[in-house]
Structure formats: structure tokens, C-alpha cells
Structure 1
Amino acid sequence: MKYTKQEWFTPAEVVIHNTATDCWVSLDGKVRDLTSWLQDQLKLCKCKKSCSCTVKNWYCDNSCVEYCNCFKRGFSYCDAKRPAMTILAYAGKDVSHWFKGDEWVHYIHPVVASRTEHHQHGHGYRRPVVPSTLWRPFTNPWWLDESNVVGKLTQRTRPIQITNTLTSSSVTLEVCSEETIYQIMMRYLPHNSHMLSYTWRYLGRGLKYDKTLAENGIPDERDRFNELALPENLHIPDLLLYYNDDLTEDPPKDDCLCHDMNCVLDRPEKCYEDVQF
């Protein structure tokens, strides 16, 4: 097994990426990192600027501010930045309802009666609603660009409890139902850097590490609990870790495997190269 890059994400892991410098969205089951696209969009503003100086000279004083015409018209941001502001408003959320297939959802505009795309914060300057020579098609649209895909969004999360029988310590994790035991190990690694010396079992039987929890016969009974009006966390399946006493030691600190908590959480690519267990 190799230390692998995370493939599945929970909604809770996506929602924390909700700023202009760290912007993720989920779309049709894919998690996309739009940070670089957003930064490029925020730089767009082709409106003519006007000076704030009361007296117009060939020079401006130190208090001069350039105003975009969009601000004068009452908008809170430039027309060129509308697509970016729409994405930023929904950063960390699912935007699948914006699209039908590979295209935006359309509607009939109530004023001009034209079939147009439904943008949450209005249209940008390159795609006006009314017929105009300014209209331009999308080039390399972000929702079709596979280079910004960082992983997949889980269809369902589930809690799992992991107990170290050697230390009697226990931790409850929220994992993706599609993840294999190997991938769950990666989530558990920050809690036990010496995890490789343990055997994982459930109800006394060994687990197939390349299979999911369900494929290993570990049920998710929350739906049954809900039908009986019982709390969902009434019972959480518990995976038991048994120490093998293989006389191995924790990995050395200079190989990024992974005593540094930031190395585990951020998972830089250098941590995956030629590292096997």
C-alpha cells in the first residue's frame, strides 16, 4: 500500500474552502478547486475609470480614487467580476442545481423575453441578456475543465469508531461510504503515526483493506434507527486495532511520514513518492 492522495471528500471538508484565496465548489459529484480561476476573474475590469478629484488637472493629488462606472450605477462590484462574485458567494457549497448537463439552466427573461442563462448574481459584461455585439461564448469554461478537479464528493457520509486496544484510546471519524479501509487509514493516520504495526478487525474477524466498510460487512444502521425514532448515534460500528509487536519503530522525522501534523493534513506530493508499507 502507498500513502495516497485523498480521493473522496465529505461536504464538511469542502465547506471550509470558502474564501477568495481558497475556493472549492462541488458540481455533479466532483470537487473543484477554483482558486486560480477566481483570482484571474477578480482581476478583470475593462470599464473606463473616472477620477474622484473635484478639479480635473493633468495630475491627481494623493487622495485620488479611480471609480468604475459600475459603482456609479449602483452595483457593488464591476460587471466583469460578476461570474467571480457568483462563485465566491457559493464557495464551499454544491452548485449542481446551476447546471443541466454541461450547460447552465436557462429561463425566459421577463423583460426581453429571450431564453437566457440563469446566473445567481446577474450576467457579466461578455454575455449580456439583450442582443449585443459584446456577447462572447465561454472559452475553457471552469465547469468543464478537468484540471481543477481535486476529488469526488461522497454520496453519503457515515461515522466510524476506531479503538486502539493497546492504549484503549478511541476516536470517531466521519468517513465517506465509498472509501476503502486503506483510505480510512489515511484519515486515521494523524491520530496514530505507528498505525502500520496494527491489525484491523471488526467483531473478531479480519478486514479486507481494499474493500469498503459495507463490503466488509460493517453495516450503517442509521436509517433503521431513524425509522424507530432512535438517535442516529445510538450505535457506531467500532474497528479494533490489535498491536502486532513487530519490533518496528515510528518512521524517522526526516522522511515526511508523517510526524509533522501539517504534513499529514496537507499531504504534499513529496510525502507520497516512493513511500510504501
Structure 2
Amino acid sequence: MSRIAYVNGRYVRHLDAAVHIEDRGYQFADGVYEVVTISGGRLIDEAGHLDRLWRSLGELRIVAPMAREPLKMVMREVIRRNGIVNGIIYLQITRGVAPRDHPFPKNATPSLVITARRLPLAKAAKTAAEGVAVITLPDIRWARRDIKSVSLLPNVLAKQEARERGAYEAFLVDEEGMVTEGSSTNAWIVTKDGKIVTRPTGNSILAGITRAALLLELKENGIAFEQRSFSVAELLDAREVFLTSSTSYVLPVVKVDDKVIGNGHPGLVSQKLRALYEKFMARETA
């Protein structure tokens, strides 16, 4: 079956999907995006993703191309037409097509593209059971990382270096030596005395939807946590390290740079929190 994409009001073959060469997303990265997990044919934490999408649009003063309810209908139709049971759906909204000029165009119509694809669950489960390695790199991104912008070149460079060095992810470090987040994930540690720590939201990191869901689960289950910055030194000295994202869920980290974390295997806390998040996902698909 050929993959189907949604492009500005039309469902088209994925191979034929295209936008104009003067779309501002292509020329200026003048747009935002969201990635939502599909599990059991259902969207996980859909409301949280759409809330963040609307916030990003507002921060860039891009008008939403349609209201939320029609957008949700289109998303479900893309999932249906692609026969996705487990995978992801990708939404991208740009300011639209206009002659190339830096200021906002007066009459451009926002562009909306939606695609979906399957993800192999067996591979994800194996990765979680083994744990992953991360590296640390300087954070060279712009100062508004809270906006989920399509301008991701620094993230791409960081992810590429991680892969070239045999790692799954790169944790980014600010000028004060504090960890901000991963190139496409949020970073967490479990300290030597058992405290779960992640950096608070603000302009320095993206407010991860999986991060928020996990924090709520921790609160509802009476598990203590702290939202504060932590240093690379504290990262390397942690009892456990893990990361979160829509596609990685809760993923244990067993090596940072050349330092083995714990005993080199996924820690008990990380495994417990992954199971906790999987229960949340199960409720979302019920």
C-alpha cells in the first residue's frame, strides 16, 4: 500500500507530496512541527501535543491553518489511510508561500503538511532493555528552544556526531556547564541519594510532552522529584541516567561519553519509570 500524506487540503501519495519552492519553511525555517506517537491506532497525549503546537504558532505569530477539531479529524484520516497501528504522525505548519523576503508577508496562507509512518516496537523494546550511550556537546542553539521550530540544524549536527561516535543521543551543555536537554529528548538523572532530577522548563529547553506526562505520573504515584539544573559532573556521577521523548518513551542511559553509568545496565528506577509511562500509554489507548 502506498503511503498517503496530507498537503494543504489534499490527500496525496507520499511520493507526490510537495510544497512550493518559496514556502517559508523551506527558505527560512519559518514554521513549527509536532510528532505524536500512535499506539494501538490511538494518538498518545494528543491534547498536550496540540496545546504545544498552538503555543509555538502563537510565539511565531503564525495563524493556525484550521481549528483544532478539524485538524484532529485530518490526523485520524491520515492514520486510517496509512493503516498505522503503532508509529508516529508528523505535523508541520509554516507561514506559507511568499516571495523571499525576511519580514512577514502580508497575504501568505499557512501551509500544513501531515505524514505518518510505522515504527518497529520490537527494536524499541530491545533498545530499552539494553540501554543506550549518550555524548555531551556544547549547546549552540538559539535562545528560544521552547518553540518547537523546524529550525533544527544544530540538533541535526549534534545527533549526527552522536551517531558517528556510536551513541544514541547527544546531551547539550550550556556555557555554565549545565545540561540543557538532548538533541531530540529531555535529560534526567537519578542522584546517588535516589532523587529524580530534570531541568525546569523555560526558554532553554523544549517542554517535552512525555516529560510532562512522566512528571504527572510521578506526582500521582507519590514519587519525589526535583526540577532543577544539573551539571555534567553531576550527570557523570549519577546513579542512573535516562531520557524521554515521544518516540523513545523513557529510555535508560548506561554510558555518558566514556563513563559507564551504574553497573552498565538499565537501572531499577529507569525501568520502573518506563513501566509507569507504558501504563499511562495503555490508559490513553483504552
TM-score of the two chains, using structure 1 as the length reference = 0.24
The structure with the greater share of residues assigned to helix is: 2
The structure with the greater share of residues assigned to strand is: 2
**Pair member with larger Rg:** 1
